[in-house]
Amino acid sequence: MTKKEKIPCSCPYCDTPLFEDISGCKPCSVKVVYCHKCGKPLPKDASYCPQCGQARPDDKRE
């Protein structure tokens, strides 16, 4: 079994460099939600990932 590689990315609000295992951005104090498919940070109000199109897992809309 291999560990998932960390994907470098930026906070979608302040562009601070982050890694997918970080759940929040310290400089701007927001919770960052990541796409379960591609690992990129999701915009706050997104119902799907703008990078890969994967539906947000906590989106209750059908």
d(CA 56, CA 13): 18
Mean pLDDT of 32-40: 85
Position 62 confidence tier, pLDDT thresholds 50, 70, 90: very low
pLDDT surpasses 60 at 1: no
Q: Do 41 and 18 contact (CB within 8 A), yes or no?
A: yes
Is 0.75 topped by the overall pTM? no
Q: How much is the mean pLDDT over the chain?
A: 76
Contact 59, 47 (CB under 8 A): yes
Q: How confident is the model at residue 20 (pLDDT cuts 50, 70, 90)?
A: low
CA angle 45/49/55 to nearest 5° reads: 90
Q: How many helices (H) and strands (E) in the chain?
A: 0, 4
Q: Confirm if 21 and 6 have CB atoms less than 8 A apart.
A: yes
